Structure 1
Amino acid sequence: MKTLSILGSTGSIGTQTLDVVRENPDQLRVYALAAGSNVDKIEQQVREFKPQRVALMNEEAAEELKSRLSDLPIPVEQGMKGMISAVTADEPDTIVTAISGRIGLEPTLTALNAGKNIALANKETLVAGGDLVMETARKLGCSIIPVDSEHSAIFQCLEEPKGTLDKLLITASGGPFLGWPHEKLKGVTPEMALKHPNWSMGAKITIDSATMMNKGLEVIEAHHLFGLNYDKIEVLIHPQSVVHSMVQYQDGSVLAQLGRPDMRLPIQYALSYPTRWPSSFERLDLRGKTLTFQEPNLQETPALALAYEVGRRGGTLPAVMNAANEVSVYAFLEGKIGYLQIVEIVEAVCQEHEVLDITDLESILEADEWARKRAKERIINS
């Protein structure tokens, strides 16, 4: 039986991870739940799954939860200290990093240093600190199993020796504005951008999917996870979201992983690896389906083009791009900037940045803090 600490338990990936736990009660148990500030949802989760430890990042929310759970012998901690406690305790062997944003970097590194395996749903961790994270995992013999549907697909298709790989083909739905002209995008509202055609996700990742920044982050994530240079990582627009990604080998053979747009499938695989568990989740039915693919137009998807450029330059620049994007996305959701300004601000902040080598966690956090400050200043002056 695997014992889990779930970071981000109240979000989309976190709640679906708990669906997988319900599906596999003889294989999985929950040691700790950690989230941001959703007291109602985490209280329900605690009462159902009876973890031994709970943490909320928000101080007031943590105090309210502590009061609500006074009838249970479960400690409630707060802030990053609570997150760290959830991943460093002896009991859990696997940490599900379902928390959104760069904030997942520190607990992931801490978990690896504590000898824990990672089920990685927090792509920002590898975007901001991929070299450091992967080196830590290699040095300590910890596994990082991807939960993102695209990276899970690639992971499942890697049956041959790495030397026989030709390239990775990462699919993208294209989001809700596929094919829209630039002028029409000026009028996009948060409500419009949050209506993804296929996937049910959190607000931040849904906006990233619309701008195609999410796919850019996934390209950088794939570079770190699978060790291929950026010229060997291609993106294909696949509006049906049935083929989750593909691997092409040097003989021309292409292996693909297909499935319904249901995150519970890659979550379960990450937790069951190296075996596969049965599930009662709805099956893919290909009868009558037409699957199409097209190359993205990088002029129409500047976020994707920027991510390739940033990934190739490396150093502290990916952390800067990620931080500026987080700030800009939330500013858009709050109505402070327009849709097209998201990528414009991110690009401007990246152009300002003096790229440095990453030497440790502190160098990443300093670049992240600088980028957030500059992005906020540009938002105020926009």
Structure 2
Amino acid sequence: MTQRFSFDLHATDGKARTGAISTPRGVIRTPAFMPVGTAATVKAMLPESVAATGADILLGNTYHLMLRPTAERIARLGGLHKFMNWDKPILTDSGGFQVMSLAGLRKLTEEGVTFKSHIDGSRHHLSPERSMEIQALLGSDIVMCFDECPALPADRDRIKSSMDLSMRWAQRSRDAFGDRPGHALFGIQQGGLEQDLREESAQALQAIGFDGYAVGGLAVGEGQEAMFGVLDYAPDQLPVDKPRYLMGVGKPDDIVGAVKRGIDMMDCVLPSRSGRTGQAFTRHGVVNIKNARHQDDPRPLDEACTCPACRGYSRAYLHHVFRANEMISGMLLTWHNLHYFQQIMAGMRDAISAGTFAAWEADFHALRAQGDIDPL
């Protein structure tokens, strides 16, 4: 097993890329979708079940874990992998986005962010140095720079000053990260919807030098058209020989559109959150299992799907357990959704390798456009 972090590009088709990120804890096949394990768990799933869906890597949340149970406690207990019984790679975010979106009263300075916990109101401070320290205590394989992410829409001056601050924080993150063989540090491009600011950010990050690069500050309210507009140029501003990670995306058609534009990694809470609220993603679009039309339907969610929810259970059963508030509902629908997302990634990897990505993409959209199977 490799003892260092590396990225190998295996094939391209248009801007779409497939390859492999090698880490001491295993290989991540790209394009990769990372299920989100916010509080050291992918909700409603056992770690081995997450692995069975085809996931090579999980995401953990610095903000949530630093508040509860604390990074220091996790370190004493042997690190995040051991703590949550996941032996494959883990990427941790920096905590910056959650501080902006979740924390109570917060004060932003050049030094960092002081904020009140959304759990108990206790006061905390997060800086580039503290974020690096927390992520080192957690022992994650891929560490994200500490950055500031303004919600869109925002005016150009606000985006520019935020991006400049994030680039200064990126240098401090790099300095504080130090030399950690086998662990990677990713920089985060900012700049909102402004192409020249994105270019400036990309240049600043490359001057510092990172193991991978994220496109940050998207999927924060700007809509798919605006997001794709940025992705038409942003990945090209980043190094070809390093992984490119689009943070917080997304819906199946967002993921396919991002890969088409040169993105290698994504994460989103959508498959697990939707599973818990009765939404299933299928080849034919979204199925809302709480609808009465499913209550007498003996057919599976998707007859071509090999996940446990589709192999062993009918729509009628899934409708019943959701309506009855049974835990198995969230478990089965989350497993199905994560399985479906990983099937999309595997399909794209195969298509890019074969040079048939355009045909695969056309089939993907055509199937979804058909909508769900007709009611009985």
TM-score (norm 1): 0.31
Q: Greater RCO between the two (CA within 8 Å, min separation 6)?
A: 2
TM-score (norm 2): 0.32
* More strand, by proportion: 2
